[in-house]
Amino acid sequence: MHLPEFLLGAFVYLAAAVIAAPVASRLGLGSVLGYLAAGILIGPAVLGLVGSEGQDVMHFAEFGVIVMLFLVGLELQPSKLWSLRKPILGLGGLQVVATSAAIAFAAYFIGLDWRAAVAAGLILAMSSTAIVIQSLNERGQLKTFAGQSSFSVLLFQDIAIIPMLALLPLLAVRQSTSHASTSLIAEFPAWAQTLSVLAAVAAIVLAGRYLMRPLFRYVAQSGIREIFVAFALLIVVGITLMMQFVGLSAALGTFLAGVVLAESEYRHELEMDLDPFKGLLLAVFFMAVGAGIDFNLLMANPLQIIGLVVGFVVLKLVVLYVIARIFRMKGPDSAHFAFSLAQGGEFAFVLISFCLGLGLLLAGQAAVLVAIVAISMALAPMLMITNENFIQPFFARGGQVRDADVIDESARVIIAGHGRFGMTVGRLLQAKGYKAVVLDHDAEQIDALRRFGFKLFYGDASRVDLLEAAGARTAEVLVIAIDEREKISEIVATARKHFPHLRIFSRAFDRVHAYEILNAGVEDVYREVFASSLDMGEKVLIALGQDPLEAHRAAKAFKSFDEKIVREQARHAGDSEKMVDIVRNSRAELSRVLAGDRAISPLAGDEAREDSNGRS
């Protein structure tokens, strides 16, 4: 490796990362896809800014995957794993086994050797943790039943790397030439190598529990953060070198070390110190993967590669959907689950490299698998969009969405949404003796809450007939507390049009959403975190030495003033210049309001005292 060439390549990769991440974020593609696209752009197939030094950079960037596995291990506390053992082992285990078997059979059918077919099945069974988690978070679906099921599968896949790396040598026809000179077990038979893996695992577990923790404690007592960071990197690098020296996977060792240290009191410090290294090195890793895609292969056999990608995605969709139905997921949830996980994953690149070194895959087969995984990852957002725009409406038209419950009661109050927001409102009303008809369109949430004794009805509150059945003609108040921005606006429009007598109390996600609801004619709008942030601000003032009564009056004055400004801004929501003027003027006016509040009469202080005591 020539240092100038390596530095030039590293400079190009880092510059591309700086440009790619913000662009991908603005386009809603996700950072992983942005890095892959940047790698393709700077690679030999397009601009040719990186070339012969790419392999050197790739070896350096693979360390990012190792650090990532260490941090993944830190997240997997044994107690957490035990609490999630049923969905992880059941759903996740069946997904890996069934998907691997189906793909292996298909690969063998099209002509691969059975060893290569099994390796391909294990490789392609993986899904992209980075893409799936980010996409589900952006769509607000991570906490849904389908989202949690997807998370369980991804968690099992991360754990499954360990037995895969341990068992793949049993299939190997030869060992990696790169390890031949340094490995102590290179000449061992396959069964002996597997025993060596298990022995190395046991050594790491014992060392992590009885050696690393005391060492961390000793280093932490120095109080020098740089030394703590250096020691964390020393552990990762040391395990990497040790595992390679005995011919095993560095990823396996660092992952296990992370799991062992997950219960350590230094877990959070380790995560914070290593996360920047992981993010940067992973960015380079994904760009190196993009730059390494063999476009000559794609151009030489476009129909074959496209056919393999389509066949892989369709086969994985079918297997995932069947598994979801076996676990009694509803049709829409099964589709969400299948389309979320139907791509290849980051760990597939690690397994491809590992299998190539073991001789399980030929260079041409490995290149095809890299292309399949990379292209399928690039298609992942399109798969999710396809599900939302075409598959979910199909289920709705086909009547496979759960039918709305028959509502057999009425009350003065209707509450739409019984999550973290609506539940608090409902409990307060119930405690004061007011009955409410509660609607929610999350079937899993309703079934779970009914087990705790809550009476709820399943249905979409934006439907006129459902509100009618809930007693909207005679009710007095409608509380909209659901957690979907667009759905809130739909319910407001429906209620205002068909039941204008209802007084609507609506949740708003933020200031801009509040403008929209206010302009729809709703007077009682409550921003999601406004009240709690005001409470915190009041406590902060007290912590800074303010008199509790003065802090309470300041918070109360701020709330009244801000609500007035929100209503004024709502009237000019489309006029950006006017909005800017209002914000600028409001700053000085707010200072005058709070300054005047400090001169409040003693009587007002007594009122504030009563108000403060009453609300506590």
Q: Which of 347-351, 378-382, 397-401, 474-478 has the highest mean pLDDT?
A: 474-478
Nearest to 251 by CA among 260, 235, 240: 240
Assign 181 a pLDDT band (cuts: 50, 70, 90).
very low
Task: Check residue 607 and give its pLDDT.
Answer: 44
Nearest to 231 by CA among 243, 250, 244, 218: 218
CB within 8 Å of 442: residues ≥ 6 apart: 144, 419
Question: Which DSSP state fits 441?
Answer: S
Count of alpha carbons within 13 angstroms of residue 118, beta-carbon side: 11
Other C-beta atoms closer than 10 Å to the C-beta of 36 total 25
The burial of 478, by beta-carbon neighbours within 10 Å (0-12 exposed, 13-18 middle, 19 or more buried), is given as buried
Task: Check residue 449 and give its pLDDT.
Answer: 65
What is the tens place of the pLDDT at every residue in 264-298? 667 777 777 777 766 677 677 777 767 766 677 77
pLDDT > 50? residue 605: no
User: Which domains, and CATH codes, for the chain?
Assistant: 3-395 (1.20.1530.20), 402-528 (3.40.50.720), 544-616 (no CATH)
**Window from 76-80, 391-395, 530-534 with minimum mean pLDDT:** 76-80
Task: Check residue 241 and give its pLDDT.
Answer: 72
What is the tens place of the pLDDT at every residue in 502-527? 999 998 888 888 888 888 888 888 88
CB within 8 Å of 101: residues ≥ 6 apart: 121
What is the tens place of the pLDDT at every residue in 235-267? 777 777 777 666 666 666 677 677 777 766 677
One-letter amino acid for residue 138 of the chain: E
Task: Check residue 593 and give its pLDDT.
Answer: 67
Residue with tokens 């489309």: 574
Which tokens sit at 447?
A: 């079934």
Query: How many Å apart are CA 494 and CA 504, to the nearest integer?
Result: 11
pLDDT > 60? residue 456: yes
Which tokens sit at 362?
A: 């030929």
Mean pLDDT of 403-420: 76
CB within 8 Å of 605: residues ≥ 6 apart: 549, 553
Report percent pLDDT > 90 for the chain: 9
Distances, alpha carbon 260 to alpha carbons 244, 344, 373, 596, in Å? 20, 28, 31, 58
Mean pLDDT of 123-135: 81
Q: Treating both helix axes as pointing N-terminal to C-terminal, what angle do 363-386 and 31-42 enclose, rounded to 10 degrees?
A: 130
3-state DSSP call for residue 68?
Answer: helix
Mean pLDDT of 100-107: 94
pLDDT > 50? residue 10: yes
Which tokens sit at 156?
A: 């099992």
Task: Check residue 121 and give its pLDDT.
Answer: 93
Assign 169 a pLDDT band (cuts: 50, 70, 90).
confident
Task: Check residue 131 and give its pLDDT.
Answer: 73
Which tokens sit at 320?
A: 């995932």
Distances, alpha carbon 455 to alpha carbons 143, 418, 423, 467, in Å? 22, 10, 12, 17
The full DSSP string for 165-203 is HHHHHHH-SS--GGGTTT-SSTTS-HHHHHHHHHHHHHH
Mean pLDDT of 534-563: 85
pLDDT > 50? residue 550: yes
Assign 402 a pLDDT band (cuts: 50, 70, 90).
low
Average pLDDT value for the chain: 76
C-beta separation of 464 from 400 below 8 A = no
Task: Check residue 79 and give its pLDDT.
Answer: 63
Task: Check residue 394 and give its pLDDT.
Answer: 73
pLDDT > 50? residue 616: no
User: Could you tell me the sign of the dihedral formed by the alpha carbons of 59, 60, 65, 66, in that order?
Assistant: positive
Assign 317 a pLDDT band (cuts: 50, 70, 90).
very high
Which tokens sit at 168?
A: 């793949």
Task: Check residue 576 and give its pLDDT.
Answer: 67
Q: Which of residues 449 and 88 earns the better pLDDT score?
A: 88
Task: Check residue 106 and give its pLDDT.
Answer: 94
Q: How many residues are there in the chain?
A: 616
Distances, alpha carbon 56 to alpha carbons 51, 102, 398, 490, in Å? 10, 36, 54, 55
pLDDT > 70? residue 608: no
Query: How many Å apart are CA 90 and CA 106, to the nearest integer?
Result: 24
Question: Which DSSP state fits 43?
Answer: S
C-beta separation of 501 from 467 below 8 A = no
Query: How many Å apart are CA 34 and CA 378, to the nearest integer?
Result: 9
Other C-beta atoms closer than 10 Å to the C-beta of 460 total 19
3-state DSSP call for residue 229?
Answer: helix
Task: Check residue 313 and give its pLDDT.
Answer: 94
One-letter amino acid for residue 209 of the chain: R
Question: Which DSSP state fits 406?
Answer: P
pTM exceeds 0.85: no
Task: Check residue 41 and give its pLDDT.
Answer: 78
CB within 8 Å of 316: residues ≥ 6 apart: 99, 103, 124, 338, 341, 342
Q: Which of residues 426 and 208 earns the better pLDDT score?
A: 426
3-state DSSP call for residue 415?
Answer: strand
Question: Which DSSP state fits 263?
Answer: G
Mean pLDDT of 68-75: 70
Assign 50 a pLDDT band (cuts: 50, 70, 90).
low
What is the tens place of the pLDDT at every residue in 575-598? 767 777 777 777 667 667 666 655
Assign 308 a pLDDT band (cuts: 50, 70, 90).
very high
Query: How many Å apart are CA 54 and CA 564, to the nearest integer?
Result: 59
Assign 557 a pLDDT band (cuts: 50, 70, 90).
confident
Question: Which DSSP state fits 600?
Answer: -
pLDDT > 60? residue 58: no
Task: Check residue 366 and give its pLDDT.
Answer: 87
Task: Check residue 138 and give its pLDDT.
Answer: 64
C-beta separation of 387 from 450 below 8 A = no
Query: How many Å apart are CA 26 and CA 535, to the nearest integer?
Result: 34
What is the tens place of the pLDDT at every residue in 476-491? 999 998 877 778 888 8
Task: Check residue 26 and give its pLDDT.
Answer: 62
Q: Which of residues 21 and 325 earns the better pLDDT score?
A: 325
SS3 content of the chain, % helix, strand, coil (to 5): 70, 5, 25
